[in-house]
């Protein structure tokens, strides 16, 4: 059996300071947000979702969006992006100097109303205007398909609904599609299948995969998405995040866990893993609740530790001789 191909390179897009913080009870200081965003850029992350331009009453954790964008010391080659829900948000994002704007629409009316206070039709009606405004500023415009795998209120979402929405996005001027496993209901087979289908049907549009680790399948879904052809994956420092309008929602896949896995697989990410771990620790120190990062708990694979007392190096040498002899006999 031929294994599925592993891509030689991929990109991680960090969403810590938007999706990561939108569902926590405490408000992070603007200075810390700026420090973490600049740290991500210094670590080699080339796409950063720096904030969202939403109603501050609905999402108070990004009420300082303009100030965050103003205070960032920008690094060449890095895109500082933002999420919007309507034309007013897009205007604010453009005026703040964002390098990319993303509009999110859910695949069920009930969640779209809870998330952005609009029906799907109302959101789609505004999408053409948003795309035109963003493109006039010569900024890439992305459309996020939220709830691509399921809705917490209505259950499973048919895959054909994902493709129908992608077709609408293409017709309305979207440059890039975000396939969002927003509730963490996806599995490797379905995620790989959707990625492959989207790339096959709309090869002219770029694709980002946004995965939550709600049920522990995040990294498996990420690997399946990459093997199906996705080149960009969303992740968040420490696995922080979750939708504030979905019962039981939990965080994104962890940026450091994802980079660690891809590095072991031989995928070129171009990101300093130790720097990511340090940033996740800094974020964790500022939070009242623990982060969901395997690397923060266990450390990197193949990190050696002192042997228990009484075990000598000679024992290791004899063991290696025994194993070598065994290999020769086999």
Q: Containing domain of residue 92, as a range?
A: 11-329
Q: What is the pLDDT of residue 36?
A: 98
Q: What is the pLDDT of residue 23?
A: 83
- Could you tell me which residues come within 8 angstroms of residue 270 by beta carbon, excluding any fewer than 6 positions away? 9, 11, 44, 46
1 lies in some domain = no
Q: What is the pLDDT of residue 156?
A: 93
Cβ–Cβ < 8 Å for 67, 30: yes
Q: How far apart are CA 172 and CA 132, in angstroms?
A: 9
Q: What is the pLDDT of residue 5?
A: 83
149: region left, alpha or beta (phi > 0 left; psi from -120 to 50 alpha): alpha
The number of distinct structural domains making up the chain is 1
Which of 299, 302, 210 is closest to 257 using CA atoms? 299
Both tokens assigned to 26: 């405490």
What Å distances lie between residue 279 and 35, 52, 92, 283, 293, CA to CA?
A: 9, 21, 28, 6, 12
- Could you tell me which residues come within 8 angstroms of residue 121 by beta carbon, excluding any fewer than 6 positions away? none
- Could you tell me which residues come within 8 angstroms of residue 97 by beta carbon, excluding any fewer than 6 positions away? 69, 80
4 lies in some domain = no
> Can 243 be counted among the known catalytic residues?
yes
Q: What is the pLDDT of residue 173?
A: 95
Which of 180, 187, 178 is closest to 217 using CA atoms? 187
* Residues 161-182 pLDDT 10s: 999 999 999 999 999 999 999 9
Of 98, 151, 180, 243, which is the active-site residue? 243
2 lies in some domain = no
176 lies in some domain = yes
**280: CATH:** 3.20.20.70
* Residues 286-295 pLDDT 10s: 999 889 999 9
Q: How far apart are CA 280 and CA 278, in angstroms?
A: 5
Both tokens assigned to 74: 């920008």
5 lies in some domain = no
6 lies in some domain = no
Cβ–Cβ < 8 Å for 157, 149: yes
Burial category of 228 from C-beta neighbours within 10 Å (exposed 0-12, middle 13-18, buried 19 and up): buried
State the helix-helix crossing angle for 159-171 and 188-201, rounded to 10 degrees: 30
Q: What is the pLDDT of residue 99?
A: 98
100 lies in some domain = yes
Q: Which residues of the chain have pLDDT under 70?
A: 1-3, 243-249, 312-330
249 lies in some domain = yes
Model pTM score: 0.92
- Could you tell me which residues come within 8 angstroms of residue 161 by beta carbon, excluding any fewer than 6 positions away? 107
User: Taking the CA of residue 277 as centre, how many other CA atoms within 13 Å lie in the half-sphere pointing to its CB?
Assistant: 13
Q: What is the pLDDT of residue 246?
A: 61
């Amino acid at each position: 059996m031929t294994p599925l191909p592993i891509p030689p390179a991929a990109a991680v897009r960090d969403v810590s300071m938007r999706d990561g913080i939108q569902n926590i009870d405490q408000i992070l200081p603007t200075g810390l947000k700026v420090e973490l965003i600049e740290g991500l850029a210094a670590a080699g992350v080339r796409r950063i979702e720096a904030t969202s331009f939403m109603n501050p009453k609905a999402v108070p954790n990004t009420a300082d969006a303009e100030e965050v964008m103003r205070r960032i010391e920008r690094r060449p080659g890095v895109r500082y992006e933002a999420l919007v829900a309507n034309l007013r948000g897009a205007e604010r994002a453009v005026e703040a100097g964002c390098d990319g704007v993303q509009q999110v629409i859910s695949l069920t009316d009930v969640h779209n109303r809870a998330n952005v206070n609009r029906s799907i039709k109302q959101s789609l009606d505004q999408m053409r205007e948003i795309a035109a405004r963003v493109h006039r500023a010569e900024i890439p415009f992305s459309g996020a398909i939220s709830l691509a795998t399921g809705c917490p209120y209505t259950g499973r979402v048919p895959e054909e609904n994902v493709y129908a929405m992608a077709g609408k996005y293409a017709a309305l001027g979207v440059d890039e599609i975000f396939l969002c496993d927003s509730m963490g209901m996806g599995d490797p087979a379905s995620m790989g299948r959707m990625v492959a289908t989207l790339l096959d049907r709309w090869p002219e549009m770029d694709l980002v995969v946004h995965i939550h680790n709600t049920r522990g399948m995040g990294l498996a879904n990420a690997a399946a998405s990459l093997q199906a052809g996705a080149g960009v994956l969303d992740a968040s420092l420490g696995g922080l995040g979750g939708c504030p309008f979905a019962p039981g929602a939990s965080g994104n896949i962890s940026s450091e866990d994802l980079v660690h896995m891809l590095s072991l697989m031989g995928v070129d990410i171009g990101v300093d893993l130790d720097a990511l771990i340090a940033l996740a620790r800094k974020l964790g120190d500022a939070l009242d609740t623990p982060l969901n990062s395997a690397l923060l708990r266990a450390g990197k694979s193949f990190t050696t530790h002192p042997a228990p007392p009484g075990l000598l190096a000679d024992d290791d040498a004899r063991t290696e001789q025994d194993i070598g002899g065994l290999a020769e006999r086999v």
